[in-house]
Structure formats: structure tokens, C-alpha cells
Structure 1
């Protein structure tokens, strides 16, 4: 089934064994993927389930096409823990790539934040765009879960959100800091054998301010380094998440 196309849908689109396709999804299947009636593809609900589906005409006439679920597909491509990225928004449209590549690497939650040095103030339409990018990236990377993207908040609000939640003792929170003598993130990950969830914060162009670093540490985050080189705001999340994914995949293997 590796050669079959994949389509991410909302779980509420499933009605018994039928998938109610949106106009946009019908166009995507017919015009972009070039699937014809009777052809099969994979449906994923973004919450962990996959099905083999067949494209069929809608006998009730509500839409042109629908899909029939033929069988559930058992697959496990997800990382073994929940992985949350707190990312200060980079300039321009660069956060699009952060969302896309973070999804490919296995992140489960993304929280964009506005820090002291953030230049971008996103519009409300940005969230819908990022959700669409995450959905497309989950399809492409054969994930079972589409990451949840939260509304953009101020940095201080983000810290309070995670400070007040009742995390287990095996939840590890890291803030990545450049130009420092903090321990390497990789070393810390390798030293922690029991990881149930991870939260990683990466900063904006110019990095976190000293006050932001101190506030994170006071909220239970551990300051870590990604290495001696200075990484761009769009590169740091990918490096951090790649390290986490590599460690978790190695343990799983």
C-alpha cells in the first residue's frame, strides 16, 4: 500500500463506512491526484487511524463524489511520546517551513509565540494556513497524527500554560539557547531513560533575551545548547526535533 495516495480528513467526516468529502477534497483527489471512480487511496483521520478507501459516486446526490471505507490499516509510524514545540515566530513566511518540517519529524503540538525580538505579528488567517500545511505534511510523511497548532500567544503566556499544567515527573522541558555553556540537548536526552513527553522551546532571530531565559528556567525549563554554531530561527527547531526523534527511534529499534 506504500504506493497509494493519502488524504487527511476530519474524524467528523466519517459516517459509518462512508467519508463525506469536501469540495476541496474532491478536487484534490480528481484533479491533483488524478484518481478515478473505483480507485483506492488511504484515508487518515489525523488522530491515529488509517483506512483503505475507494472513491465512489455519491448515490444520495449531495456531492459529486464520496469515499467508502473498506478496511482499517494497522500502522505505527509515530514517535513513542508526545513532542511539543514552542517556537518564536521567525520573520516573513518562514514559519510555514517550521510547521512543515516539524510535522515530518514527529511533533504532536506546535505553539507559535511572540517574544521580545519577534518581528512578525500573524493574522488570524495564518493559523488556518499552518493547519493546512501540517495536514499536507502528515499525508506526505505517512504519519497517523496531524499536529495540533495552537493560537499564537505572547511568550509569557506560553510559559504560564505549561507551568500550570499537571505534567508527569517524566515530562522534560527544554529551552534552546545560543552562545552559552549549557549542556548539550543530545547529552541530556541520552541520560534520561524514562521520557514520557518533551517540550522544546526555540527562539527568534537574535535569540532569547536573558530575561526570557531566566523566566523559562523559573518555570521548570532546562536551558540546553544545540552546539557551538549559531542557528537560524528556522533551523533550530529542526535540529532540536531531529535529535529527539533520533534518540527515540534508536530506543524503539
Structure 2
């Protein structure tokens, strides 16, 4: 069933406008009485609706029933990802959204090779958010994860240190993830490096700010593999892959 997103429903009625309205009427060729799902992005609620009216640039819906989405995990994971080369970030965002990530913040670390200027970053962020949107629709999410602007590493550490649990995945080892996830909090931040991993001074800085280090096993994972492995492990250990 087609899926669309709004911030809030208005009673028993929802109006979809803009590109989504055009997609419903012109691309999907839906008509009066057809069913679709509309998700409240701010509440994780999904509404099962019927089309009541189609006008130029607007589709009016009536809500049949509503429920909290079973697709949203009970743990909110914020991924802090060091900026990789080429288009690897696009893959990371797409798959992280499918796996249940709640937020993504790209960051610049010492070993980041890719360092776009401000104009390029603005364009990239717009594209990244669109990728998150499409991945959320495809995977049946009720929430569109937000892709935040790129932060410098120390800024990111200051921000992530406010999380109840922040785990930096370090190729030189750390604690067992399963141990860290015992009695897990509702919000977890995870931190993954770029192609060259983290500089030792960056790891030390993170530890000084209360961030835990963990390992993903004995093998060295690529920067696009590590966040997906970490998310999968977290979702499994917290019962969100059942």
C-alpha cells in the first residue's frame, strides 16, 4: 500500500499537497476510495486512509483507523558517521534507515579524505535527506530519519556526550557491545570512522567525554560496512529484529 508522510493529522482528515499529491494522482493514478497509509512523522503513528477528494495540487483523505507503527524500533539510535569518500555516504544512509536508525550526523575527522566546501555540503545534505525519505517509504517506516548538517569532530563529541549511551567503534578494540547494551537506554548514539578509522587522539578525546569504545569483532570492516553491522547488532540485541 502506498505510504506518505505528514507532520500532524488534522482530526479525521489529512490533506496531501505538492509533489506527493501529484504522485498520487498522476503517477499512481489513484482515485476516490483508494487506500493508502499516511504516517505522522513526529509521533510514529500511521493512519490507514481512503481518498475522499482529488483536486489540482491537493488530495483529501479520510482516516479509517490509526495505530503506532510496529516498524519503529523502541530504541532511538543516532549515527555519527565520519564522512567517507565518493558516494559511500548515500549507501550508509539508505541502509541505516532501512535498519531503523533515528538520526544521522555526518562529521569531519582527521582521517577524512572527503572535505567538500560549504556549497557542496549543502547540496549533499539535501540529497542525503531525500535518500532517507525514499528509504523510509520503501522500508515501511513511520518516521523519516533526519540527516543533520556536517559537524567538526569535536563539535560532534560535545553533542554526543549528552546521550545516555554513546559507543565509538574502534578497530583497535574496546568493550563487548552486548555488555554495553545490558539495560539499554531509550536513546543510543554510535560513532563510526571514515576509511582510515580514528586517530588515537580522537579516541582519547572521546573517552575523556564519557564515550565508550567497542569492537565489532576481529575483522577490519570497511567504513560503509561498520555502521550497518553495528545497527544490525543493536537491533538484534534489543529485540527489534524479532
TM range, normalised to the smaller chain? 0.7 to 0.9
C-alpha distance in structure 2 between counterparts of 1:181 and 1:40, whole Å? 50
Give the total of aligned pairs.
Answer: 237
Tell me: CA distance 1:176–1:20, structure 2 relative to 1, closer, same or farther (3 Å).
same
The answer to whether 1:25 aligns with 2:20 is yes
| Aligned-residue offset at 1:105 | 1.2
Instruction: Report if the CA contact (8 A) 2:80-2:106 is conserved.
Output: yes
1:114-129 equivalence runs, <5 A: 114-118=108-112, 119-121=114-116, 122-129=120-127
Asked if residue 249 in structure 1 is aligned to residue 209 in structure 2, the reply is no
Normalising to structure 1: TM-score of the pair? 0.84
1:216-231 pair list within 5 angstroms:
216-231=206-221
Moved over 6 A (4+): none
Aligned to 1:235: 225
Q: Is the 8 A contact 2:174 2:213 kept in 1?
A: yes
CA shift, 1:181, in A, is 3.6
Q: How does 1:36-51 map to 2 (within 5 A)?
A: 36-47=31-42, 48-51=44-47
Higher strand proportion: 2
Alignment-derived partner of residue 193 in structure 1: 183
Task: Determine if contact 2:173/2:213 at 8 Å carries over to the other structure.
Answer: no
Distance in 2, Cα, partners of 1:73 & 1:34: 26
| Cα root mean square deviation, aligned | 2.2
> Mind listing any 5+ residue stretches in structure 1 that lack a counterpart?
none
Give 1:110's aligned residue.
Answer: 104
